[in-house]
Each structure stands twice: as C-alpha cells, then as structure tokens.
C-alpha cells in the first residue's frame, strides 16, 4: 500500500474517535492521560531553568551539578525499588512519589543548605523513576493490549506537548514576579496537583489486585 494511503488510513477520524472513547471508558486512564501529566511539567520547567539561576548561591556550577548527579543516583535507586516494592493502590503511590519534586523547588527558593537540597534531589530522583515505572506497569496491566501503544502515545503527548510553552514563559514570569516567588509557586502547584489527582475516585480506588489476568485483543480499527 502506498505511504499516502497508509497515513490516510491511520489518521481516519473514526479511528481517533474510537480510541478517545476507549480512553474515556477506562476511568483511571482518562484521568492519567488528561490530568496526571499536569503534576510534572512545572517541576521540569522550574528545575531546568531556575537551577542555573540559583547555582551561584549554592556554590557555583559544580554544586548544582552535584545536585543533579545525586538526583540521577536517586533515579537509579527508584528503578531498583520498582523491581521489588509493590503497592496495592499503584496510582496513589505513583502520584505521592512525585511530591518531593515540589519540595525540591521550594528548597531552591530560599535556598536551603546544599546537603538538604541534595537529599531532596535524591528523593526526587527516586520518585520520578519509581512513580513512572508504576504508572507504565499499571497501564500495561489494565489497558487492552491492542490499544496500549496508542493510549501511551496520548499519555506522552499530554506529558510533553506543553513543554515548549512552559520553557518560553518561565523566564518572563521569573522577571515579572521574581525567581524565589516562581520557585515557590511551581513547588506548591506540583504538590497540589499530585494531591488533587490522588483524590480522583478512579485513581485512589484502583487496586493492583483487581488487574485482569488477560486483556482483550479486540481491534480499535
């Protein structure tokens, strides 16, 4: 089949509509695709931009590099935890594990002593890696196999689509309101969003023990 025809087939409105209806029919997936990504972007924007701004107060580029290295080490530990530790309410765990990112942002606002920021960065790394693994494995267990890749693509779209806008706005907002103020706002938003998502019934009521043994393979075509 020519490439143009294949692309036309993949982009048929009926296919997209059917997939969106499937997302809406699985309540926690709808919450995840449309709401869960909101708990993380502001942390990425703020840490990526403001870390360089406050590096001088922490002791220079070397000190900030050490914080990022410690956060990366935390991510390795978080991935190891994901292999061993299980939660019966996986989506609650995945959201609460991201809360340290908000604490890190507020720690940078003052800023707190470097060792404290390092510990918070380590916990942030654990949270992002561990929480991400929990979310991905929950999708794999509860979403029908035939729709998993497409639903994951919507999930990633929600996670990264606003990143360019966030990176474009974070600088002017810092100039207008101040670096410390924006770090505090971003930290509070991160924490409140995580807690808000946990309060969604389809999120806090989902139990790992309720996962189906198999998932149907009906096509969404």
pLDDT of residue 128: 92
End-to-end CA distance of the chain: 17
Q: How far apart are CA 99 and CA 198, in angstroms?
A: 11
Q: Mind listing the pLDDT tens digit for each residue in 70-94?
A: 999 999 999 999 999 999 999 899 9
Average pLDDT rounded to a whole number, residues 14-38: 61
pLDDT of residue 93: 94
Q: Which residues contact 164 (CB under 8 A, 6 or more apart)?
A: none
Least confident stretch, 23-27, 72-76, 133-137, 138-142: 23-27
pLDDT of residue 67: 92
The superfamily in CATH containing domain 38-207 is MFS general substrate transporter like domains (1.20.1250.20)
Domain ranges of the chain: 38-207
Q: Mind listing the pLDDT tens digit for each residue in 162-213?
A: 777 777 888 888 889 988 898 898 889 889 888 888 888 888 888 888 777 5
Average pLDDT rounded to a whole number, residues 142-148: 80
Average pLDDT rounded to a whole number, residues 5-9: 44
């Amino acid at each position: 089949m020519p490439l143009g025809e294949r692309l036309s087939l993949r982009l048929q409105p009926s296919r997209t509509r059917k997939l969106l209806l499937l997302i809406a029919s699985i309540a926690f997936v709808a919450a995840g695709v449309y709401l869960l990504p909101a708990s993380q972007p502001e942390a990425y924007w703020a840490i990526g931009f403001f870390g360089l701004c406050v590096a001088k107060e922490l002791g220079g580029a070397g000190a900030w590099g050490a914080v990022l290295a410690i956060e990366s080490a935390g991510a390795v530990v978080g991935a190891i935890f994901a292999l061993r530790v299980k939660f019966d309410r996986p989506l609650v765990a995945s959201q609460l594990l991201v809360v340290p990112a908000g604490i890190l942002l507020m720690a940078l606002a003052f800023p707190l002593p470097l060792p404290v920021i390092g510990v918070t960065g380590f916990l942030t790394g654990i949270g992002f890696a561990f929480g991400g693994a929990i979310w991905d494995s929950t999708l794999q267990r509860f979403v029908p196999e035939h729709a998993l890749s497409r639903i994951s693509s919507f999930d990633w779209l929600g996670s990264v689509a606003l990143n360019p806008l966030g990176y474009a706005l974070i600088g002017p907002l810092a100039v207008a309101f101040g670096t410390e103020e924006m770090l505090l706002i971003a930290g509070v938003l991160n924490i409140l969003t995580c807690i808000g998502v946990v309060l969604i019934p389809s999120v806090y009521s989902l139990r790992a023990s309720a996962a189906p043994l198999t998932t149907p393979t009906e096509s969404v075509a």
